[in-house]
Chains A and B, each alone.
Chain A
Amino acid sequence: MAETHVQTVTWKVKDEEVVSPWREAWRALRKNKLAMVGLAIILFFVAVAVFAPMIAPYPYDEGELVMKNKPPSGEHWFGTDYNGRDVFSRVVYGARISLWVGTFSVIGSVVAGTILGLLAGFYGKWIDTLISRIFDIMLAFPSILLAIAIVAILGPSLQNALLAIAIINIPTFGRLVRSRVLSLKEEEFVMAARAIGMKDSRIIMQHILPNSLAPIIVTGTMGIATAIIEAAALGFLGLGAQPPEPEWGKMLSDSRQYIQKAPWTVIFPGLSIMLTVLGFNLIGDGLRDALDPRMKN
């Protein structure tokens, strides 16, 4: 995916290859050890999620009660939970849920935020005032509370948790795109495009969006980390995934009363959340340094 993109923007000027900014960024990123660790963590969890049925030795929703709360062993690497279910298999399937919720909620926020940010920044006037005020109001709530409010309306389920997380993160991307549009509008190449009579839609597609992509990617990557934590938090509060879905946050709250007897049922799901989130944060940090040298320190 990254490769094909690089291909399209690499061009030749007088037979001398000009390195596209994306390739340059990838080179910088590759040298960043922490970012590569992050990438490895993410790829590992993606592989676990994709091949879950092959990796998991047991079904995630069936267990034998005689086997309940057994410590880690050769048969059950992460032990068993209060229902005698294999914790390892549940953690493996849980990767699917967390990555799915994290990625798709951020895609939702990015799409909605970009559209609203473009409208606000490009057309200004009352549209800008209206959209910006709505963002202000949404940001006036601590995000997890807003998510709780949305789930309280829609009813607890994984879908609704995903929707709630997507909604609460819209202002982050909306504001980002708006401020990019405002500064790009003053750039000479945009004014030139306007002067030659280019249509608004083409200016947006050809000039504004490509030039806003880098900060969106950086914020989006970090956004996945936040979204995964938020989804697990909602699951933990019983407002997200419902049993028997092996969602990591829900596993924590279900097992917490057995924590003294069977700490492994709480340690492993939590560790998985932390590692996945760490992976996205590391790669996000690296992308920021690689794509936006001004923010580097």
Chain B
Amino acid sequence: MALLSYSIRRIFMLIPVLLGMSIVVFSIIRAIPGDPALTILGEKASPKAIEDLREVLGLNNPWYIQYFDYLKQIITGDLGVSLHSGASITQEIGPYLAATTELTIVSMLFAVIIGVNAGILSAWKQNSWFDYCAMLIALIGVSMPIFWLGLMEQWFFAQELKWLPSVGRDNSRNPVEAITQFYILDTIMAGQWDQLWEVVKHLILPGVALGTIPMAIIARITRSSMLEVMRADYVRTARAKGLAQFWVVYKHALKNAMIPVLTVIGLQTGLLLGGAVLTETIFGWPGVGRYIFTAIGNRDYPVIQSGILVIATIFVLINLLVDLLYAYIDPRIKYR
């Protein structure tokens, strides 16, 4: 019962945050110093074109009317019109969003599987050479600029060794027929196994680049959390009754050690969505990050606004999910 009322309260707490986010995103175009329309079109634009753009963007109304119009628009799922392509952003963003989601999930899987297991092993064999190596790699991983890692990967594995493709989502000579836009699903549903292999190969380099920082952070948190739990009485009891070390670690200790890890995973997923802007730019990945990046070059402010709004909304929802999971897993937490 407490959990249910906590969940409802937690969901209601989202409303002011979402409203605040809409204000921030709304301000992006209005806060441009001078005339936004002039900034977008450049100095050479005719007064007529500038006036038309002001009309399109609704800049001629008082700001509060502009804001309520904007709010009404986004609540009904209308993300505006791209100045560059003239298409509806709501429709345009779909495939980009799917591409980003697919990349994010793959990176997170990579980060969690490697990070959690490396952290567990490090804690289990504390002060061993494995522990030192893993923690050194994790330390370097935390300090790694992902765009540099991406460039190095691209250079070494794609251009020098030619093992993996360096840009895009699929082989352009044998493109995937998009149904769900999630290419792994699409190729499996179509039974195109050679294409599936191509899609997986395209995912490896950007997935690793994007997943490295979360992997390093997850490994460090898992290790310190495991070390704490391993000292607990119930773990000693499990050991004392002769349970094999493997089960003590993976069954008893891991369950409790995972609580802080889960929070970090939630936070990191949000950072991944931000990091996607860089990774997607490097690997020519047709996702929301690159969509925003291209829009910056084109001064396509409606796309910049909506892209940022969509990613931030996903981030907020992921954190909601993590908080609820957290409360569910750990009954000790206070439902404030």
Contact = CB atoms under 8 A, between A and B. Distances in A.
Contact of B17 (A137, A152, A252, A263): A137
A225 B315 contact: no
Contacts of A236: 147, 278
B308 A145 contact: yes
B91 interface: no
Interface string B234-253: 00000000000000000000
A144 B20 contact: no
A267 interface: yes
A249 interface: yes
Interface stretch (B77-85, B136-144, B184-192, B199-207): B136-144
Contacts, number: 128
Contact of A252 (B16, B140, B147): B147
Interface in B4-35: 16-17, 20-21, 23-25, 27-28, 31-33
A143 to B, nearest CB: 6
A56 interface: no
B308 A149 contact: yes
B32 A153 contact: yes
Contacts of B275: 142, 144
Interface string A110-138: 00000000000000000000000110111
B16 A145 contact: no
Contacts of B296: 148, 152, 237-239
A257 to B, nearest CB: 11
Interface in B301-318: 301, 304, 308, 311-312, 315-316
Which of A140, A238, A267, A281 is packed against the most chain B CB atoms within 10 Å? A140
A281 B28 contact: no
Given A136-B17, A137-B24, A278-B143, A152 B274 contact: no
Nearest to A263: B155
B274 A143 contact: yes
A279 to B, nearest CB: 8
A233 interface: yes
A229 B142 CA distance: 11
A297 interface: yes
A237 B139 CA distance: 25
Given A141-B21, A266-B155, A267-B152, A233 B147 contact: yes
A152 B304 contact: yes
Contact-residue bracket for chain A: 35 or more
B90 interface: no
A236 to B, nearest CB: 5
Interface stretch (A44-52, A190-198, A269-277): A269-277
A259 B139 contact: no
Given A137-B17, A148-B308, A149-B304, A249 B147 contact: yes
Nearest to A142: B274
Given A141-B24, A153-B28, A233-B145, A297 B155 contact: no
Nearest to A253: B147
Nearest to B274: A142
A158 interface: no
A140 B21 contact: yes
B145 A140 contact: no
A142 B17 contact: no
Nearest to B155: A259
A274 B227 contact: no
Given A148-B292, A153-B31, A229-B145, A141 B312 contact: yes
A273 B148 contact: yes
Nearest to A266: B151
B270 interface: yes
Contacts of B139: 278, 281-282
Contacts of B195: none
Interface in B321-336: none
A73 interface: no
A232 interface: yes
Nearest to B31: A153
A270 B24 CA distance: 33
B133 interface: no
Contact of A297 (B27, B152, B224, B293): B224
A256 interface: yes
Contact of A270 (B21, B33, B145): B145
B265 interface: no
B24 A260 contact: no
Contacts of A233: 145, 147, 278
Contacts of B311: 142, 145
Which of B25, B28, B151, B316 is packed against the most chain A CB atoms within 10 Å? B151
Given A148-B292, A229-B145, A142 B281 contact: no
A268 to B, nearest CB: 11
A192 to B, nearest CB: 29
A137 B143 CA distance: 27
B159 A144 contact: no
A148 B277 contact: yes
Given A145-B277, A297-B228, A133 B28 contact: no
B20 A134 contact: yes
Interface in B158-197: 159-160
Contacts of B105: none
A213 interface: no
B168 to A, nearest CB: 16
Nearest to A295: B224
A5 to B, nearest CB: 28
17 contacts: A133-B16, A141-B308, A141-B315, A143-B274, A145-B274, A148-B296, A152-B304, A153-B31, A236-B278, A249-B147, A252-B151, A256-B151, A270-B145, A270-B151, A277-B145, A281-B139, A282-B139
Given A138-B24, A145-B273, 8 more contacts: A142-B274, A142-B311, A153-B32, A154-B33, A236-B147, A237-B277, A259-B151, A260-B160
